[in-house]
Structure 1
C-alpha cells in the first residue's frame, strides 16, 4: 500500500471516529437536556426540510418534571416558512392544523416572589422569534380549574408587521357548545404613541370595546384608555361557562336581561418597573359610570343592581374620589361574609351615595352615605362624609348613626338574645392616623346573655357615650391603637351559682391598646354592696388579672353581703361592726389559676345559729396557688359569746391548708387557741390537726374556773357555792363530732362551800327520811375535796363522776361526810332550756321555738 493510500485510509478512519464520537457526545448531551427539562417523550414523524420551509406531520412532547405534574403537547401538520435568501429570521409564517395541550398541575404552593413584567426590550427580542403571521386551525386545551378539569376549543391567528412587531393583530376564538366567543386585539404605533384596541364578540355581536394609548417618556408611561359595554344578553351561558373555570356559582338570570351600561375612561402615569411591586407607582385620573337596571352577577361579590358614577384621582397609588354618587343593591355570595357568625351575615345590602354641599372654607367632596343590610340581623348606617381632595388627604364623618338588631347570636361559650346597638359617631381618617368618638345616645342593649360558666344576665344596657379610639398607621399597617373613655353597664338581673339573683351596675374607665385592655371603676348591686373593680387583660400572653376591693362596710346600716352571696350561712346575722377586704384573681394564658384575698373585721356583732356574738375582730388572708388553698388567720378575737350563758373573750391564731377539690380534708395548725370561760381559762397547746385522718386527739387545759359563776349559769334553783376549778380534758374530733373520752376536774385547795337551799329539796328531805341527811348536809357544806371525772359523748350527753368530801359545821358536830354522785346532763337540752329564757335575744328564742315545733 502506497503512502498516499495509507494517509487516505487513516483520514477516513479518523473522520468516522470523529463523527461517531460527536454523535455519541451529542446523544449524551441530548438525553441530559431532556432529563433537565423533565421531557420523557419527544416524537417527530413526517419531517421534511427544504430551503424555505420546515414541515412536520406530527410532534408529540410529554414533559413530567414530577409525579403529580404533567404536560402533553401534540401538534399535527406543522408548516414553518423561512425568509428568502437562506436567512432564518424573520420567520415568515406558522400554520398548525391541530394543537392539543393537556396540562396536569402540581399542588399549588405559596410563592412570595413578586410579579415581574417584561420590559420593552425583552418584548422586542421575543417578538423577533415570532413568525410574521400564524394560524392554529384547531386549538384544544385541557387544564385544571375550579371544578376539577376543564376543556376549551377554538382557533388562534395573528399577523405582525413585515419588518417590525407593529402593527399587529391577534384573533382568538373559543367555542362553547353552540356559542362562540371572539377576542380581537389590534396594536399599532401612531407617532410616539402605541395603541392597543380590544374588542369582544359573543355569538357574532360586539359586547365590549376597549381602547388603550401608551406614551413612553424617560422614566414612565402614560396610559390613556376607554372602556364601553352596553348590554350582555349572553350573560346566562357566559357565566355558566366561566363558573366551570372559577370558584363561582352563577345565579338564575332571565333569558334576556334588561339594558345595562358600563363606561370608563382613565389617564394614568405608570412607572412600569415599580408597578408590580409597589402600587404607589400609579398617578392619574379615572372616571367610571355604571347603570345596571337588573341584578348583574359580579364574581366574588354577588348580584349587583343600580347605578354608580365615580371620578377619582390617583396620587402615588392613593385613590381620592373627586365625584361620587350611586344607588346600589347587592345580593352577596356566601363566601363574601363567611368570616361573620351566621346570624350576622346579611342576605341583601343596599348603598346610597348622595352628593351634598361642603362648607365654603372646606375644599373637598361631601356626600351622604346610607348603608342598609337585611337578614337575621338588620343593620343601617347613615353618615355625612367629607373627603379632602387636596393634600393632606383626610376624611371626616359626622352625624353618623349605626344601628344593628339581632334576635340571637351563639358563640362557642356564650349566647345572647335580642341585641340592639345604636352608635352615634364622629371621627377623622387620614393616611397617618384615625380617630373616632362616640356621642351621646350611643348604647348597646341585650335582653339576655348566657356564658358557659353559668352566668346569666338579663336586661343589659351599656352606655358607650364618651368612648374614643385613636389609631396610627405606617406602611398600610396599624402600629398603634388606643381606646379610652368612660362607660357604664347596668344589668337588670344577674344569675350565677355563687350569687343571689339581683341587679348589678358598673361604671368607670376603659383603656385598651394593642398590648392590654383594662377596666377601672365601682361595681354595685341592688343589695347596696359597692366594690372597687380593676380588670386587666394582657393581649400578648392572654393573662388576665382581676382586683376587687371592698371598702370599709358598716354593718349597722345593713349587711349587703348576706343579700349578695348565695352561700352566705343562713343562720349568720351580722348587724354591727365594720369589715373591709381585697381579692386578686390571676388567670394566665396557660397554667393554673392563682388567687389571693385579705379580709379585716372590727367589732362585728350578731347571731350565729343560737349564739349571740359581739366584739369580733379578725385578720384573714387566703392564697390559692397550684390548686392549693391556704388560709392564715393572724388574729381572731371574740369579746363575748352567749349561747345561753356568757363567756369570752375567745382568741385564735393559726392557718389552714387543703387541696381545692377536698377542702374539708386539710391541715389545721394553731399557735393560739383559748377562751375565757366563767372566770377561768380553757386553752389548747400549739399544735396541728390533720382533718384527712379519721380522728384527732386534742389535750385541753382548764384553769381558774369560778364555781360561783358556773352555779349561777346552771339553771338549778337554790344552788350556790364558792371555789376555783382546774381540769384536764382529752378531746377527740371525729366525723360524728366532739367527744371527751378522758377528763378530770378538781377544786383548788383549801376547797370551798356549797349551799343547796331549794324549797323542793327541803320538801324532798322531809318526805323521805333517807334524803334528810343529804339535804341537811348540803344546806351548808364546807368541802375540802371536790373532784370529778368527765365523759362527753358526740350526742351531747355529759357524765360526771363527782367525789365530794367535807362537813356541815351545824350537823352532828361537823363530822366528815363523803359523797359519790353520778351526774348526767343532756347539754343540747340544757342549752335549749337556757335559750328559752330571757338570757338570749328574741331572735334566738324564736329560732329555738321554731325548732321545737
Structure 2
C-alpha cells in the first residue's frame, strides 16, 4: 500500500511538471508567434463555448508589424454558429453587432514582392471555411484618404451556398449623412464560367448595373462584361462624399438630365501572372458609348459634355481604335492644367472626331478631328488622321493645322505680347518611332518680347517651315529625339542698352536632341553687319557656349559697328582700313561667365574728337575669367596723328587687368610705349600703373626733337631756328587730368641758331628803345645754351622757364648775351587755333567751330 501510494505521488508530480512544462513552452511559443505576426495587443472578453456556438463579448486586436503600419480591430458581441452533428465545417453563420477597424498602411517599398492576380477557382475553393451566412450590423472603417483620414459607416451581409461557396451574395451598405449607398454582388457558376453581377443603388434607386463573366484557364482569365448607367440625380451629394476620399473639389452642378446614358461592353483575356506589372498582358476588345447632354463631372478631369462612341482592341496591351465617333466638350478641373502658364490655361476644350471617307485601304481607320479651346489664348487643331488597325500599328496625319493666339504671356524673366502661331504639320507615329515635319507657311509671330536682360524685340517672326522631329521608342520610353532643319528669325526692332535700336535677322540650322541644342548661322542687322554665329546649349549640365565671328570689314564702304553699338564713341569716325575678330562666350550651368575675344585691325583711318588718325594697326585679345578681365595689346601702331600738327608713328604693347565690377580701376602694364614727335622720340620705360590709385607717376624721356620742326608747327610768325632738344618729363595722372610737375628741356651741344624776323617784332623795337637790343639780338642769335624747366597744369596751362645764352655776330662785336624768358601758353587754346586753320580736315574745323559756338 505504501509502495502504491509512492508511485501515485510520483505520477501526480510528474504529470504536474509535464503540464507546467507544456504551459511554459506554449507561453513561449505564443509570445514568439505574437512577435512574428506583429501583434501588440490581443484581448478577448467574455468568451462562451457550447456544442452549437462560440460567443465573445469583445475582441480587441492591435497589429503593428512595422513602425509606420498599424491595424486595430474591435469586435463587439460576436456569435459564431456551428453546423449540426458535431461538425466544425462548414460554419453555419457569423453575427457581429459592431466591428470597428482602423488601418494605417506601411510606406510603399520598392523591394516588396510583386503582386499577382489570384486564380478565381482557387479563391472560391479556399473560401469553404467562411460561414455560410454572415451579418455585421454596424461596420466602421477608418482608413487613409486624400484629405487625411476618412471614416465610413455601414452594414455588411453575405450568403453562401449550403455546401459550396457558390452561389453567393454580398450586400454592402454605406451611410453618408441622410443618404445610403447599397452595393449588391451576386456570384454564381454556369458550366465552367463564373458570373459576377453587380448592382449599385443610391437612396434605394437602382443606378448602375454590371455583369461579369469570368472563364479561367491555367494562367489566364477571360473577362466578359457589360456596364450600364442611365441617370444619376444623386451626383451632387455623391461627389461631395467622394471629394473627402479623393483629391477632387466638386463643381456646382445643374440638374442632370434623365436621358444621360453610359454603356460599355468588353471581352478581355488577362494574364494573371504579369498584368499588375505589365499591361502587355491584356488582349481583347472594349466598346464604350456615352451620351451626356449636360456637363458631367469626371473626377480628376473636369466636366464633360457630349457624346462618344468608341470601339478599341487590345493586342498585348496596345490599344488601337477600330471605331471612333465623338463630339465632346471639357471644362478642365482647376489642377488639371496647373503646370501651364495661367494665360495658356483654357476654360473649355471641345473635340470633334468623325469617320472620314475611306480610300478602300484595308485595315485602316481614317478620321477627321477638330479640337478647339476657349479662354485667354484660344487654340484650334484641324487634322486628318489615318490609323493602321493591324500590325505594325501606325498613325499618319496630314493636312494638319494648329493655330494659337495669345494677347500676353508672362513668366519669371520674360513677357510675350501678341503671340500668333500657325503650324502646318504632317507626320507618322508608330510603336517604335515617330516623324513630324513642319510645312510651308508654319511660323510664329510676336508683337513684342521682353526679357529680363533689358532686351525688347518687336514684330518678331520665326519661320519654321523645313523643321522636322524624329523620335524612337523602346518599352514606352523615348530613346532618341532629334529636331533638325533650317529656320529663320526676324525682328522689326531690337532694343538693348548696349545696342542701337534697329532690325535684326538670323537664319541657319537648328539641331537639337536629348543632350544638347545648337544653332548655326549668320546674325545680321539693318546696319549691314553680319556675324556668323554658333550657339550650343548642353541640356545635361545646362552649359551654354556661343561663338561669334566678325568677318573682315572694309570701312571705306561704311562702319556698321558705329551704327550697331550704343557705346560706340560718338566722336570716333573710322572711314578707312579693315578689321575682323571673333569671340567665345561660355556660360556654365553654375558658376561665373567666361569669355574670350580677338580683334585685328589693319590700316584704320579716321577722326577721333579733333585728331586725324591714319595707318592704325592693332592686334588685341581679351579674356574674362572668374570675374577678371584681361586685355592684351600685342601690337598697336598708329602711323600718323594730326591734332593740328603731325606726329607719329605711335607704338604700344602691353596688357590691362581689372575686375569686371570696377573695370576702370585695373592695372596697366606696358613693355613698349613710345611716339615719334617732331623728329624726336618720346617714350616710357617698361613699367606699370595702378589705375585704382588716386594718382599715377610716370617718367617720360624725350630725345632728338628737331627745333626747326617744332618752330614750324608753332604758329609764331618769322620765328625759325636750328638745334636738337632732349628732355626728361615727370608726368602725373589724376582725376583732374595729365600734368607735369617737374620737367626739363635742353638743346644738344654745340647749340644752334634762332632767327626772329617778324615785322611786328621789328616795329616793337623801333618804338621801344628797351626792346631794341632784344629784337636786334634775336634777328640772328647763335646760342650755345638753350634750356628750360617745364610745368604743365591739368587745365592745359604750360609754363616754360627758358634760359638762353649766346651771341649775335653782327651785334656789338658778338659779345655774349644771356636771356631769361618766362613763357606761358594755353595748350588747348593753341590747338584750337591750329585746328581752325587748314592744317586739319573740314570735319575737325566744323567740330571746333560748333564747340566755340
* TM-score past 0.5 threshold: yes
Which residue number in structure 1 is paired with residue 551 of structure 2? 551
Does 2:729 align with 1:729?
A: yes
For 2:15 and 2:780, locate their aligned partners in 1 and report how far apart those are by CA, in whole Å. Answer: 157
Aligned to 1:373: 373
Instruction: Name the SS for the 1:385 alignment partner.
Output: strand
Distance in 1, matches of 2:157 and 2:105, equals: 30
Aligned twin of 1:396? 396
Structure 2 residue matching 1:818: 3-state secondary structure: strand
SS at match of 1:390: coil
Counterparts in 2 of 1:446 and 1:566: CA distance versus 1, 3 Å? same
Instruction: State the match for 1:75 in structure 2.
Output: 75
Question: Are the counterparts in 2 of residues 78 and 95 from structure 1 also a CA contact under 8 Å?
Answer: yes
Structure 1 match to 2:434: 434
Residue 599 of structure 1 is matched in structure 2 by 599
1:710-766 deviation per Cα after TM superposition (whole angstroms, max 9, x unaligned):
111100001111222222222222232222222222222332221111110000000
Match of 2:179 in 1: 179
Contact 1:729–1:742 at 8 Å: present in 2 too?
yes
Which residue of structure 1 aligns with residue 158 of structure 2?
158
* Residue pair 1:258, 1:293 contacting (<8 A) in 2 also: no
Tell me, in whole angstroms, the C-alpha distance in 2 between the residues paired with 1:179 and 1:818.
128
Query: TM-score, normalised to structure 2's length?
Result: 0.96
| Equivalent pair of 1:61/1:72 in contact (CA under 8 Å) | yes
Secondary structure, counterpart of 1:127 in structure 2: coil
1:589 aligns with 2:627: no
Quote the offset at 1:625 in angstroms: 0.7
Q: Which residue of 2 aligns with 1:105?
A: 104
Q: Give secondary structure in 2 for the equivalent of 1:556.
A: helix
CA distance in structure 2 between the aligned counterparts of 1:130 and 1:675, rounded to whole angstroms: 111
Contact kept in structure 2, 1:358 and 1:386, CA below 8 Å: no
1:337 aligns to what SS in structure 2?
A: coil
CA deviation map 1:472-515 (0-9, x unaligned)? 11111001111111111111222211112222111111110111
Match for residue 525 of structure 2? 525
1:312-370: CA deviations, max 9, x gaps?
Answer: 11111000101101000111111211111211111111110011023334641011111
Does the C-alpha gap of structure 1 residues 663 and 45 become closer, same or farther in structure 2, counting only changes over 3 Å?
closer
Whether 1:222 and 2:222 are equivalent positions in the alignment is: yes
CA–CA distance in structure 1, aligned partners of residues 12 and 122 of structure 2: 47
Paired position in structure 2 for 1:88:
88
Aligned residues of 1:258 and 1:294 also touching (Cα < 8 A): no
Separation in 1, partners of 2:756, 2:37: 124
Secondary structure of 2:681's aligned partner: strand
Secondary structure class of the residue paired with 2:197: strand
CA distance, structure 2, for counterparts of residue 104 and residue 215 of structure 1:
34
Residues 1:255 and 1:730: Cα distance change in structure 2 (over 3 Å) = closer
Following the alignment from structure 1 to structure 2, what is the Cα–Cα distance between the partners of residues 512 and 97?
A: 68
Distance 1:469 1:631, change over 3 A: same
Deviation at 1:63, TM superposition (A): 3.9
Q: Structure 2: any 5+ residue segments left out of the alignment?
A: none
Separation in 1 of the partners of 2:453 and 2:681?
A: 49
Q: 1:290 — aligned with what?
A: 290
Mapped to 1, the partners of 2:586 and 2:378 lie a distance apart of 39
How far 1:562 sits from its partner (Å)?
Answer: 1.5
- Indicate the SS of the match to 1:566: coil
1:620: which partner in 2? 620
Shift of 1:256: 4.8
The equivalent of 2:205 in structure 1 is 205
> Could you say which residue in structure 2 is the equivalent of 1:803?
803
CA–CA separation in structure 1 for the residues paired with 2:522 and 2:598: 19
Report the Cα offset of residue 187 of structure 1: 1.8
Q: What secondary structure does 1:754 align onto?
A: strand
After TM superposition, give the deviation of residue 298 of structure 1 in Å.
0.8
- State the partner residue of 1:333: 333
8 Å CA contact retained: 1:427, 1:434? yes
Q: Give CA deviations for 1:828-853 in whole Å, capped at 9, x if unaligned.
A: 11111111111111221222222222
Separation of aligned partners in 2, 1:677 and 1:653: 18
Figure out how many residues of one structure are paired with residues of the other and give that number.
852
SS state at 2:19 partner: helix
2:55 equivalent to 1:55: yes
Give the CA RMSD over aligned residues. Answer: 1.9
Cα distance change on mapping 1:109 and 1:660 into 2, 3 Å: same
Q: Which residue of 2 aligns with 1:12?
A: 12
> What is the correspondence of 1:816-827 to structure 2 with a 5 Å cutoff?
816-827=816-827
Cα distance in 2 for partners of 1:362, 1:757 equals: 115
Distance 2:612 2:746 in 1: 30
Structure 2 Cα separation of the partners of residues 762 and 57 of structure 1 = 145
Tell me the CA shift for residue 255 of structure 1. 4.2
Deviates more, 1:343-352 or 1:758-767: 343-352
TM-score (norm 1): 0.96
User: 1:604 touches 1:616 (CA, 8 Å); kept in 2?
Assistant: yes
1:241 lines up with 2:241 in the alignment: yes
What is the alpha-carbon distance in structure 1 between the residues aligned to residue 692 and residue 601 of structure 2?
30
CA distance in 2, matches of 1:517, 1:760: 80
SS in 1 for 2:274: coil
1:413 match: 413
The separation in 2 between residues aligned to 1:738 and 1:695, in whole angstroms, is: 10
Instruction: Go from structure 1 to structure 2 and tell me whether the alpha carbon gap of 1:208 and 1:121 turns closer, same or farther (over 3 Å shift).
Output: closer
In the alignment, the residues of structure 2 paired with residue 799 and residue 77 of structure 1 have an alpha-carbon distance, to the nearest angstrom, of 121
SS of corresponding position for 1:24: helix
What is the alpha-carbon distance in structure 1 between the residues aligned to residue 386 and residue 57 of structure 2?
A: 69
Q: SS in structure 2 opposite 1:22?
A: helix
Offset, 1:606: 1.1
- Bigger drift between 555-564 and 79-88 goes to 79-88
Alignment map for 1:482-497 (pairs within 5 Å): 482-497=482-497
5+ long unaligned stretches in structure 1? none
CA contact (8 A) 2:517 2:539 kept: yes
Q: Cα distance, 1:591 vs. partner?
A: 1.4
C-alpha separation between the residues in 1 aligned to 2:525 and 2:841? 31
